[in-house]
Structure 1
Amino acid sequence: MQANKWQTLAAVAGIMVSATAGAQATGGGSFGNTGQIVISTDATGSLGYSTQGSGIGFISLEPGADYFLKQNLSVGAGMQLRAAFTEGDDPVGFGLNARAGYNIPLTDKVSVWPKGQISLWLGDDVFGFASPFLPGGDITVVLEGYAPFLFHVTDHFFVGGGPRLAFGLGDEVEVAFSVNTTIGGYF
């Protein structure tokens, strides 16, 4: 079971890198033009040590696709895969999201692309220690705001990162702040 989980995560990461490279090779123009399709993935990771004396860590991959409805205005969807590394059980979670964003060009090579997102979690109890979401499986809906600053390395390819604020909705409202990274391409 453990090997299958890692094989699945490796396959998803490989698909996202391949899709990003394919998006880079296709024509398109400057980022945020009407009709563009963006394929990207956001990623976070952490490695730590808890006060209970056990090592903890997690990785989160969020592959997705966005479409620019009009100049700089995008809508999109994606999935979220999260895995924790603890002594004993290694939970894996899965979520689906819908989002809207607006690209703000700052220079020829730099822009900021703030996005609002709503996610529905379908997975296990994930990261009660590293993320306030899904403690005990009670929270299933997460509202997020993410504002990555993008560096457009070449035409049709970008990397970036920025702040992310998330609210988990359930019996109690949970709040988390993080810094995420992103990589993507568009055509």
Structure 2
Amino acid sequence: MNADLRYVLDSITDPNPLVMVIKAHLWLERSLNRMLEAEMERPEALRSVRLQFSQKLNLVEALGILPSDRAAVLRELNKVRNNAAHRVEWTLSGGDMQQIIDSVRSIGWEPSTGDARGLQGLLDAFTFLLGYLDAWADMREWTATNADAIATRRHLLEHFQGEGHTVDEAVLLTNEFVVLDTRETYQRSAAKWGFRDE
């Protein structure tokens, strides 16, 4: 996603829950794309294939990029979105909205207001899902981008231990050679999603 949270929320907020579902689905698909591309050496080779949401979801689950319980929630949302997009007579009921909300709750989300119903509950659930997937995609991209640094760190640890240093000494020596600024990465994500830096 790599977009400002306020922009994302403004773009999916709509008094019509069908519109909200379709827009949130598009943002979630962008996060799936980022996750897949972070795992590929040449992602451009796959872009022309035009995979559907369900196929991308199956791929991220099969590759172990996204846990199965998270994939199940996205599958549930995809069913609702497909009903909305492909069946003219279909309308999103309160029961359908609650089904989406409850599926997001099943993976640990709890509404901050204590109330997870209606349009606000749906928006809050989507906010959680979008934040979760975006953070997951950030992590996958960071890992892919820093694979060489991670391999270097591992090599240095083994080298120093091979020279007879304790694990603690090897870590300290390695830290002198390789500085991975995860704090800065965390602060960027926290600022983007409005989390407090404790």
- Name the structure with the higher helix share: 2
| TM-score grouping bracket, smaller chain normalisation | under 0.3
TM-score normalised by the chain length of structure 1: 0.26
- Name the structure with the higher strand share: 1
Higher relative contact order (CA 8 A, sep 6+): 2
